[in-house]
Amino acid sequence: MRIALIGCGWIVERSHVPALRDAVGIEVVAVADTSIERAQIVAKALGLPQSACTTDHRALLDRADVDAVSIGTPPDSHRALVEEAAAAGKHVLCEKPLATTLADADAILAACERAGVQLGLFHNYLWYPETQEALKLIREGAIGEVVATEISGFGLRPWVGAEQGAPGWRHRLGSSGGGALMDAGVHALYLTEAYHGAPAERIGATVRRGDDGVDTWAFCQLHFPGGGFGMVNVAWGEGDARLSIMGTEGHITFLFDEGTGYYGMPARGFKVGRVGSDGRIWHRPLTWYRLFMPELFSDFAAAVDHGEPSRYAAHGAEGRRAIELALGAYRAAEEGATVALPLTAADPVYERGYAALTA
């Protein structure tokens, strides 16, 4: 599969480019960014000639040798870019969050369905070895029925972005759609539903906003059918990162960082404790860590080539669900009460997102 990159910022340079070098069945043929300097930096890292660079993403969409695009731009631009790519018959990989509003997310899904192109999202935390090990143990019944989870990441980094591009976009509500929760917290939200094996039916939250209008930390409570309960705590600042999964017959815990860190770092310990007469505890350290990005790119390429859904790239509806959870949390925090899920088109955040609550 031949792919073009739209957006050449920090995440693309530091995460996507190394993964693309290791991916199989995929070839980067061109890159675009509003900053030609950023495009040239990424092209050089990929071994592409400067002629592969452009500041006009539409030029890439007109190329017959481009099968798909990977979009790594600020979230407020995703709808227009995906709609244009789909209309040009290009398959799409898109960074999270999928959009800043549910209306935009629905428009994205509709555009890809009309065009018959695949849409994949970078929900890569789901495929971390620690995550897959925990899900395997849950499926095997190692801790019984999951009743409660907690994901805490208090050392999230407020990335400023590449200086040659659009630094600081994460701190501009119009560009980001939200702060710590929308940026990195969406990973914790979709992981929480994965561990519980069901969609949450209500969400509550307490959120603190900074002077720039975006949230600097958020404490979320997800309520599941049957009484299950999930907590997601994220913040830009100082603190550790950990995950706990409590079951009727045991627990799974792993610590990502004992000092300041976030829940995307290498796990420093993996422990399974089981209630029983022998009181056994298994230690399964998983110190090897990968972003799982090469596999995601490779799998998406194979899926496009074979006309099948990707296994590793999240599907569009999953991307929509992640931002629905974040927007539900923002509304719950504003109203001081839990909010029923799913949200409807009549909800104030459907059309305008977080901005509807901050006016």
The reported pTM is 0.92
Has residue 257 got a pLDDT over 70? no
Q: Are 235 and 156 in contact (CB under 8 A)?
A: yes
Has residue 125 got a pLDDT over 70? yes
Q: Which of 95-104, 110-119, 283-292 has the lowest mean pLDDT?
A: 283-292
Q: Are 169 and 176 in contact (CB under 8 A)?
A: yes
Has residue 298 got a pLDDT over 90? yes
Confidence of residue 169 (pLDDT cuts 50, 70, 90): confident
What are the structure tokens assigned to 264, written together? 């995307």
Has residue 358 got a pLDDT over 90? no
DSSP 48-111: --GGGEES-HHHHHT-TT--EEEE-S-GGGHHHHHHHHHHTT-EEEEPSSS-SSHHHHHHHHHH
Q: How many CB atoms are located within 10 Å of the residue 83 CB?
A: 19
pLDDT tens string 36-81: 999 999 999 999 999 999 999 999 999 999 999 999 999 999 999 9
pLDDT tens string 222-248: 999 999 999 999 988 767 778 899 999
pLDDT tens string 139-160: 999 999 999 999 988 666 666 5
Domains of the chain are 2-124+292-312 (3.40.50.720), 126-290+324-340 (3.30.360.10)
| Alpha-carbon span 153 to 184, nearest angstrom | 9
